[in-house]
Structure 1
Amino acid sequence: MIAVALDGPAGAGKSSIAKELAKRFSLIHVDTGALYRAVGLYMLRQGLDPADGAQVIPRLPEVQITLKFSPEGQRIFLGEEDVSEAIRTPEASRASSAVSAIPEVRAFLLEQQRKLARENPVIMDGRDIGTVVLPDASIKIFLTAAPEARAMRRYKELMAKGIDTDYDTVLAEVKERDYRDSHRETAPLRQAEDAVLADTTELDFQGSVELLASIIGEKLNQVR
């Protein structure tokens, strides 16, 4: 079963690019960040501190997350509610980063992610796919870009959705997220030793897609 592990920092464009690559290579796109966002959103809705393991861990059995796939992409549900848009707010993003630093949350979601890869040809994106979730993935890519470039992309995305913010705030949040993700004790963000580095600082979206498509195409030829 083909598995593409796509890792990288916040705002690198992993999910958007992976969605296009999934169509091109007939793969199922699994956005693992959405799982953590869903957990974070659930805790916020319960009035809990997403960074406080003592509050979060006992409530994990209550969290019912389902991923549904269609030609339009992945949809994520909390119970019966489609929260695919609700998890994309800045508040949900911060909550996601907080709960992802809790080892028990990562363990809670780990088997769900691995099961998807066992049963389907996937391109799975996140922070620790190539290092922890799918260490034996046939193709590993570490996607990155300068913090300033990632912040500008995120800023434009939020403005397009009508979410009022400013570039400096977004840049500060990107840098803070980078620090938290790379310094957490459990599964910190890092490039797997056998992953191909793809820096898209100077590329637009389509250029980024083509860069990763060429990497995947070359790797698939080697596997075959």
Structure 2
Amino acid sequence: MNAWDTNARLVVAIDGPSGSGKSSVSKEVARRFDLAYLDTGAMYRAVTWWCLESGVDLTDPQAVTAATETVPLEMGTDPHEERITVAGQNVRTAIRGNRVTDHVSAVSTTIPAREVLVRMQQDIIRDSGYRIVAEGRDITTVVAPDAQVRILLTASEAARMARRGKQVGAAASSDLEARVVGRDAKDSTVVNFTTAQDGVHLLDSSELTMEQTVQGVIDLIIRATTHDGALAAPHDTGANAPEEAR
């Protein structure tokens, strides 16, 4: 197999519901192929955090959009080190709390705000030299519909609840289920991340381990790119990261 061409474009777009494992899988795939990594869901969370901290009325679409347009947000794209700052403050932990989780759909379902963030996400993909794994809910259809590899990563509700519970250090509960399923239901009113569109590969991780899911994505990447001789075997980082969910 030919050596890996580090100049070749490779955009991997991964969508999926909360708890499908897309964050852990996307980061590990990015590590193995020496690609940048973009968690677009974290951008919506960061804007939500900024709105809450700034006293923005989340029921006012114009106010939410204005805040999105002016948020001093910086997104890191190193898959080895998550870096998310707002106004110079590291918000990596703060945006994962229930306070943000309970309000993030107010931002993600505001269409003009989504349009602002989509443009930001497309700029990040361009700035990566089109060598990136981007994950979220509308990457395969809106943000990067021309990505070389487009995947919808799914899992059963039971599997997703178990993973989410493990991530937050608690057993699955009705409260946790309401948060996860409720957010998916709200976001699904503005973007379809439950059905694979034309050209999007469906990968169900319900019965798969983290490593098996990563390998499934790698197989799809190799299948989609080896025709031009640009792809070699990815690095084995030896990572055994826990499942993550958004």
The TM-score normalised by the length of structure 2 is 0.82
Structure 1 residues 149 and 50, CA gap change in structure 2 (3 angstroms): farther
Q: Which residue of 1 aligns with 2:56?
A: 48
Counterpart of 2:216 (choices 189, 196, 211) is 211
TM-superposed CA distance for 1:71, in Å, is: 5.7
Q: Distance in 1 between matches of 2:168 and 2:218?
A: 27
Q: Distance in 2 between matches of 1:2 and 1:33?
A: 21
One-letter code aligned to 1:91: R
Q: Which residue of 2 aligns with 1:158?
A: 168
8 Å CA contact 1:37, 1:96 repeated in 2: yes
TM-superposed CA distance for 1:167, in Å, is: 2.0
TM-superposed CA distance for 1:166, in Å, is: 5.0
TM-superposed CA distance for 1:39, in Å, is: 0.4
**What secondary structure does 1:5 align onto?**
strand
8 Å CA contact 1:31, 1:74 repeated in 2: no
8 Å CA contact 2:35, 2:133 repeated in 1: yes
Q: Which residue of 1 aligns with 2:239?
A: none
TM-superposed CA distance for 1:115, in Å, is: 1.5
**What secondary structure does 1:183 align onto?**
coil
Structure 1 residues 172 and 61, CA gap change in structure 2 (3 angstroms): closer
Counterpart of 2:147 (choices 137, 147, 172) is 137
8 Å CA contact 2:47, 2:67 repeated in 1: no
One-letter code aligned to 1:210: Q
8 Å CA contact 1:29, 1:74 repeated in 2: no
Q: Which structure has the bigger radius of gyration?
A: 2
Runs of 4+ in 1 over 4 A off after TM superposition: none
How do 1:17-96 and structure 2 match up within 5 A? 17-70=25-78, 72-96=80-104
State the aligned residue count: 218
Q: Distance in 2 between matches of 1:70 and 1:62?
A: 24
TM-superposed CA distance for 1:56, in Å, is: 1.6
Q: Distance in 1 between matches of 2:120 and 2:70?
A: 15
TM-superposed CA distance for 1:165, in Å, is: 7.3
8 Å CA contact 2:65, 2:113 repeated in 1: yes
The answer to which structure, 1 or 2, has the higher relative contact order (CA under 8 A, 6+ apart) is 2
Q: Which residues of structure 2 form unaligned runs of 5+?
A: 1-8, 230-246
Structure 1 residues 223 and 7, CA gap change in structure 2 (3 angstroms): farther
- Give a deviation string over 1:140-176, Cα, whole Å, max 9, x none: 00001011211111111101xxxx6752221222221
Q: Distance in 2 between matches of 1:195 and 1:180?
A: 23
Q: Distance in 2 between matches of 1:123 and 1:103?
A: 24
Match status 1:108 vs 2:116? yes
Q: Which residues of structure 1 form unaligned runs of 5+?
A: none
**What secondary structure does 2:46 align onto?**
helix
8 Å CA contact 2:153, 2:203 repeated in 1: yes
Counterpart of 1:12 (choices 4, 12, 20) is 20
- Give a deviation string over 1:85-141, Cα, whole Å, max 9, x none: 111112212322220100111111122211222232001001000100111111100
Match status 1:181 vs 2:187? yes
Q: Distance in 2 between matches of 1:211 and 1:97?
A: 30
One-letter code aligned to 1:136: D
C-alpha RMSD of the superposition: 1.9
Structure 1 residues 31 and 223, CA gap change in structure 2 (3 angstroms): farther
Q: Which has the higher helix share?
A: 1
The TM-score normalised by the length of structure 1 is 0.89
Q: Which residue of 2 aligns with 1:171?
A: 177
**What secondary structure does 2:207 align onto?**
coil
One-letter code aligned to 1:15: S
Q: Distance in 2 between matches of 1:71 and 1:156?
A: 21
Q: Distance in 2 between matches of 1:176 and 1:71?
A: 28
Q: Distance in 2 between matches of 1:26 and 1:13?
A: 20
Q: Distance in 1 between matches of 2:183 and 2:68?
A: 23
Q: Distance in 1 between matches of 2:218 and 2:59?
A: 37
Q: Distance in 2 between matches of 1:33 and 1:86?
A: 14
